[in-house]
Structure 1
Amino acid sequence: MARSTSLVTVAALQMVSSSDLAVNLLRAEGLIAEAANGGAKLAVLPENFALFGRQRIFDLAVQEAASGDLQSQLAHLAAKYNLTLVAGTIPTPAPDGRVYATSFVYGPDGCCLGQYRKMHLFDADVADAQGSYRESDSYAPGDDVVVLETPFGRIGVGICYDLRFPELFRQMFELKADIVVLPSAFTRSTGWAHWLPLLRARAIENQCLVVAANQGGVHDAKRQTSGGSVIIDSWGRVLAEAGLGEVCILADYDSAEQNALRLRMPVAQHRRL
């Protein structure tokens, strides 16, 4: 039986990244290759996929501003494996001396479709070994909502802590997003409590596919991430879900089914606020 033209295979790539850039890139390519071999046309890497930990983020940001070497490698991987690649996050310089957590998106021809800078920064106290997180010490917030055109639909990009702010995703919905991607590095404490319910809510209320790629393991003595990378359809059904560890999960996105749901239940037309 012929495959429906409305179906596109998508992938969330879960990593346990370290402070070793070269090793992280090799592992990322392995997962991208696995996604491509599974027929994926969209692959999403997690937040901090290339470099986990803050020791070298400023050096990498300066390097990227000067040479763009990592961005060139990511563009090459998208073209090599003929897919749209949401390249997790990498640090890029901010005017005030901090860095942005920037997610670059590359098309299957290797061209950069656009970039999103993480808008909401995780300044919180958490009951884990690290205890306190102050992203704003090192990171500057982005300002722009980003929805990008791709060969199979419009993609809205969020990053990790953005998930807790539904107004951001509603703006993506207003910009006609069909798919929302969320590279993340959720702490184990917060992730195991809130990750899946929040992701299902974002999918249901915006009637869109959600592809959320998380970090999932032990990174050092103080930092553990929650895993559970997941693909959720517009009805809130979990199509694929990871546990812990490095893994590629795959699922089919059915644009025809999603569009039919939006017609049957026209939430966009019913809004009053």
Structure 2
Amino acid sequence: MTTTLPSPPIAALIQMTSGIDPAANLATIDRAMADAAAGGAAMAFLPEMSLLLDRDRARSAAHIVREADSPWPTALQDMAQKHGLWLHSGSMPLLADDGERRVNRSHVIAADGNIRARYDKIHMFDVTLPSGENWTESAAYAGGDALVVVDTPLGALGLSICYDLRFPELYRALADRGAALIAIPAAFTVSTGEAHWHVLMRARAIETGCHVLAAAQSGAHPDGRSTYGHSLAVDPWGAVLVDAGAARDEAGYRVMLAPIDPAAAQRARAAIPLARSRTMRNIAL
């Protein structure tokens, strides 16, 4: 008698070139989710600022309201239910509850349309790059202060966003809280992406023994910026499962399907037991 093993669940990474028109971005997301569902995905992942990518703060202000007043979460909830997919929203800009600052917020939405988790980006991208680019997210955005791990069809998912990637202590804390996968939606600059994207994503996977799922923005955007692309799925041993490259398909997006082996994290952690080694040390670090 032949025993058929169950197929591993599939994550769909959706690479986009989001612009300054939320309605157009939502239409792209809807088409991409249909492709993800047709490909057998259990969960789809969007990039950072999937609903609105606009560095002009005065122009974008007309769209950015408190979550309770925003149509965007509801639109994504409806899409998740329509396509029968769990969805990680990447992130979207919203007003904080006090109405004073913005937050860069992710949502994890179940296939029944219910929001299962929220996460506000903790680390603000305040940098002046060798390329001459200057970014000061903290001028408009407030950083979050909560670690989030949520159960999904792929496993326990730890949440982070883009610049969080550079703070390994966050990922160790997520793994300590039970994460077997980590989402890192991003809108990486081209210069930092070329230098650091692949090595940092693989490092976060290796040091935590987690799958890393990083849906990314890619290409030239209507607000004048360019982003690196290369949406990645990395397994807990550091192997790249899929890499979307820098291009997008004729439809204006690219969907990459990555099978998630639920036993991979356990194998990686058994081979290199970092958590056990840390507990054996008596030195205060």
Give the shorter-chain TM-score range: over 0.9
Which protein has the larger Cα radius of gyration, Structure 1 or Structure 2?
A: 2
Contact 1:181–1:211 (Cα < 8 Å) also in 2? yes
Residue from 135, 138, 150 that aligns with 1:136 = 138
Question: Secondary structure in 2 aligned to 1:261?
Answer: helix
CA distance in 2, matches of 1:34, 1:237: 25
Residue from 148, 151, 167 that aligns with 1:149 = 151
Contact 1:58–1:91 (Cα < 8 Å) also in 2? no
Question: Secondary structure in 1 aligned to 2:9?
Answer: strand
What amino acid does structure 1 have at the position aligned with 2:275?
Answer: A
CA distance in 2, matches of 1:260, 1:125: 40
Please report the TM-score for the alignment, with normalisation by the length of structure 2: 0.90
Q: CA deviation at 1:263?
A: 2.6
Q: CA deviation at 1:3?
A: 6.2
What amino acid does structure 1 have at the position aligned with 2:199?
Answer: P
Residue from 169, 176, 179 that aligns with 2:178 = 176
Alignment-derived partner of residue 102 in structure 1: 105
Q: Which runs of 5+ in 2 are unaligned?
A: none
Q: Deviations over 1:223-269 (max 9, x none)?
A: 11000101000010001001122211111000123323323332221
Q: How does 1:1-273 map to 2 (within 5 A)?
A: 4-5=5-6, 7-55=8-56, 56-62=59-65, 64-66=67-69, 68-94=70-96, 95=98, 97-128=100-131, 131-220=133-222, 222-244=224-246, 245=248, 246-271=253-278, 272=281, 273=285
Question: Secondary structure in 1 aligned to 2:184?
Answer: strand
Change (3 A) 1:100 1:126: same
Contact 2:54–2:223 (Cα < 8 Å) also in 1? no
Question: Secondary structure in 1 aligned to 2:124?
Answer: coil
What amino acid does structure 2 have at the position aligned with 1:138?
Answer: A
Question: Secondary structure in 2 aligned to 1:186?
Answer: coil
CA distance in 2, matches of 1:132, 1:261: 38
Q: Which runs of 5+ in 1 are unaligned?
A: none
CA distance in 2, matches of 1:193, 1:164: 13
CA distance in 2, matches of 1:127, 1:65: 40
Q: CA RMSD in A?
A: 1.8
Question: Secondary structure in 1 aligned to 2:259?
Answer: strand
CA distance in 2, matches of 1:170, 1:270: 14
Q: Percent identity, aligned pairs only?
A: 41
Q: CA deviation at 1:128?
A: 4.0
Question: Secondary structure in 1 aligned to 2:106?
Answer: strand
CA distance in 1, matches of 2:62, 2:95: 10
What amino acid does structure 2 have at the position aligned with 1:25?
Answer: L
Q: CA deviation at 1:208?
A: 0.7
Question: Secondary structure in 1 aligned to 2:64?
Answer: helix
CA distance in 2, matches of 1:3, 1:22: 44
CA distance in 2, matches of 1:217, 1:3: 42
Question: Secondary structure in 2 aligned to 1:7?
Answer: coil
Question: Secondary structure in 1 aligned to 2:229?
Answer: coil
